[in-house]
Amino acid sequence: MTDLSIRPPQAPPARPAPVRRRRRGRPSVQGVVNAITVLVLVYLVIGPILMLLLASFEDTTAGVTIRPPFPWSLTNFTGVLGDAQTYQVLGTTLLFAAACLLFSFVVSLVFAWLVERTDLPARGLIYVLVVAPTGMPGVISAIAWGLLLNPTNGYLNVALSSVFGLHGHGPLNAYSLPAMIFVQGLALVPLTFLLITASLRNMSSTLEDAGRTSGAGPWTILRKVSLPLLRPVLIGAGIYQFVTVIEAVDIPLVLGLPGHVTVFSTEVYRVTHPAFGLPDYGASSTYGILLLALAVAPLLIYNRTVRRAQDYATVTGKAFRPRRQRLGRWRWVAFGGSLLYAVVSFILPLFVLLYASLQPYLGPISWATLRNVTLAGYRKTLSSGLFGSSLEHTLVIGLAASLAAMVLSVSLSWLIVRSKSRFTWMADTLAFIPHAIPGVVIALAVMLIYLMLPVPIYGTVWIIVVAMATQYISLATRLTTGGITQIQQGLEEAARASGARPSQVWRHVLLPLLRPVLLNGFLLVFLASIKNLTLPLMLQSSDNVVISTLIWNRWDYGDVTGAAVLSVLLTAVTVTAALVLRRLSGSEEI
């Protein structure tokens, strides 16, 4: 799937619904399934939003009230909006997001151009190296950079100090906004790069050739032809990544909190999980509403602009082999730079984690410490009961969330693509909304719901499953809608005309044809769910610790070796899985 992440691929214009429909006899099975799908989605998607609104517009000093009479009040908003700190957090969040996007898009554009349009040596290798960090969870790269750049004994800081003969704190500080921007920006590069290369590859180079034959130089073509043609992709990817940045808890938590750099997502976490005292759900819901508004605004703008997307219809089409720009003597400079980038973005953090996991305690790298290499950390961590149970929780959550997301999204996609029901637009919107809700907001709302409702899943793995299924509905639906769109309607109709009942059409025709898409989607959601720190952390209790929260807890507790051991293991799993998935499906949305 090379398309652009925001909207699911548009279904071909469905046969319009008859004006007047007569009800005859009992409702069809398909109708019941459609209704259930929509109801479950309304519950999963609209429920949290209502909960947030309720909690934020109430006086919550005595907790959240879910039955009338509601103590309506604007105290939460006056409190939050009247607090100067809110605006500071807002400013930091916007600055953080803008800088991350700028950094990652510049890097991605340069690499995309080098790989797709120049004679860079070993382009395949560079491609893989740029994409490889996709598998690395944010919390782990944050920990790695914490190890490298922390002011007291970060490996890089120590190395730089000794080279330049500095004393005291190292010259670089991991616990600062620039470091957060750097690490988060690096984390955004793989997906951004994939989206841009995919679209650059589909963009017929004849469009560029036409510019060339009109007398334009390479620089003019880049400015006047290539970049404008890429604009829809750039805007789409930009908005997607914007939501990614503002919803993520991991990097701001690991690198921001020690240096007192707070963004909205960490603020929500801090208020709901105070070090002492009771959590203030009213204030956190209000933050959640603000964060939601922040995420939704650009999406609305995007949907307004995307209507003009047809203007760019020529972008796709059978591309000729593009003529590659000759880099001349810059060729090897570019190659060296690319390798350096790969080392910094991926190999160095991995190496540091590996090293730290083999050391009994955190210290500078030297010949002496190399002799201290020990597997004791592995033995200790892997033999602990907590590791066993968190591994189990991770697998249960991953499997259950991906299964739930796939089942829901398949029946939702069918509704979107095939149904002539009046409620199709509702399904379409429902599938789209979770995309715009930051994970930390989903977690908060889900937490509130199950604190209040008499459904006993609060504090269990199942509350995390519910939150993850909600969060990944959009991702899964994008895949399944694409999959169903590609199945000609005639194949279903032929089965019906051959005497197959709706259930038989599903079993014998639709599901077998969708199998690759379903498998791909399942793995994708599974991978995303085991990498996710935000949801399990927000919903954490002593009974539902997963690997990602365990890593954070070890790190927070000061057990660097334990955190490093777990990070190495999880990264090995996720990076391998991501590469296998890419190989398997050519998917670009890992």
Q: Which residues bind other proteins (CB under 8 A)?
A: 15-22, 24-25, 28, 488, 490-491, 493-502, 504, 508-509, 512-513
| Residue linked to tokens 């929780």 | 393
For residue 33, the minimal CB distance to other proteins (Å) is: 15
For residue 491, the minimal CB distance to other proteins (Å) is: 5
Region of 449 please: left (phi>0), alpha (psi -120 to 50) or beta. alpha
Task: Name the token pair of 199.
Answer: 């679209």
Residue number, 248 or 505, with CB nearest to other proteins: 505
For residue 508, the minimal CB distance to other proteins (Å) is: 7
Residue number, 464 or 495, with CB nearest to other proteins: 495
Residue number, 13 or 454, with CB nearest to other proteins: 13
Residue number, 14 or 297, with CB nearest to other proteins: 14
For residue 502, the minimal CB distance to other proteins (Å) is: 8
- Residues pairing with 118 in the sheet: 325
Whether omega for the bond prior to residue 69 falls within 30 degrees of 0, making it cis, is yes
Residue number, 202 or 489, with CB nearest to other proteins: 489
Q: How many CB atoms lie within 10 A of CB 155?
A: 22
Q: H or E stretch including 389?
A: helix 385-418
SS (H, E, C) 42-62: HHHHHHHHHHHHHHHCECCCC
Task: Name the token pair of 188.
Answer: 């955004």
- Please write down the long-range contacts of 490-498, taking CB distance under 8 Å and 24 or more positions apart: 492/418
Nearest one of 383, 399, 524, 525 to 461, comparing CA atoms: 399
Residue number, 19 or 300, with CB nearest to other proteins: 19
Task: Name the token pair of 582.
Answer: 């890419």
Residue number, 105 or 506, with CB nearest to other proteins: 506
Judge residue 21's burial from the number of C-beta atoms within 10 Å of its C-beta, 0-12 exposed, 13-18 middle, 19 or more buried: exposed
118 in helix, strand or coil? strand
Nearest one of 482, 199, 211 to 317, comparing CA atoms: 199
Amino acid 215 reads G
For residue 588, the minimal CB distance to other proteins (Å) is: 24
Residue number, 14 or 301, with CB nearest to other proteins: 14
Using the CB atoms, write b or e for 105-119: b if 16+ within 10 Å. Answer: bebbbebbbbbbbbe
For residue 95, the minimal CB distance to other proteins (Å) is: 45
Rounded to 5 degrees, φ, ψ at 165 are 65, 40
Amino acid 560 reads V
Residue number, 9 or 502, with CB nearest to other proteins: 502
For residue 505, the minimal CB distance to other proteins (Å) is: 8
- DSSP code string of 192-211: HHHHHHHHHHHS-HHHHHHH
For residue 513, the minimal CB distance to other proteins (Å) is: 6
Residue number, 175 or 506, with CB nearest to other proteins: 506
Residue number, 17 or 98, with CB nearest to other proteins: 17
For residue 23, the minimal CB distance to other proteins (Å) is: 10
For residue 509, the minimal CB distance to other proteins (Å) is: 6
For residue 490, the minimal CB distance to other proteins (Å) is: 3
Residue number, 21 or 323, with CB nearest to other proteins: 21
Q: Please say whether the beta carbons of 466 and 434 come within 8 A.
A: no
Q: State the Cα–Cα distance between residues 399 and 523, nearest whole angstrom.
A: 9
Q: How many CB atoms lie within 10 A of CB 34?
A: 21
Q: Please say whether the beta carbons of 466 and 472 come within 8 A.
A: no
| Residue linked to tokens 């968190």 | 390
For residue 299, the minimal CB distance to other proteins (Å) is: 25
Rounded to 5 degrees, φ, ψ at 303 are -65, -30
Residue number, 28 or 85, with CB nearest to other proteins: 28
Q: Please say whether the beta carbons of 148 and 134 come within 8 A.
A: no
**Dihedral sign of CA atoms 118, 121, 123, 128 in order:** negative
- Residues pairing with 72 in the sheet: 58
Amino acid 365 reads I
- Residues pairing with 58 in the sheet: 72
Residue number, 124 or 490, with CB nearest to other proteins: 490
For residue 11, the minimal CB distance to other proteins (Å) is: 16
Q: Please say whether the beta carbons of 545 and 389 come within 8 A.
A: yes
For residue 431, the minimal CB distance to other proteins (Å) is: 23
72 in helix, strand or coil? strand
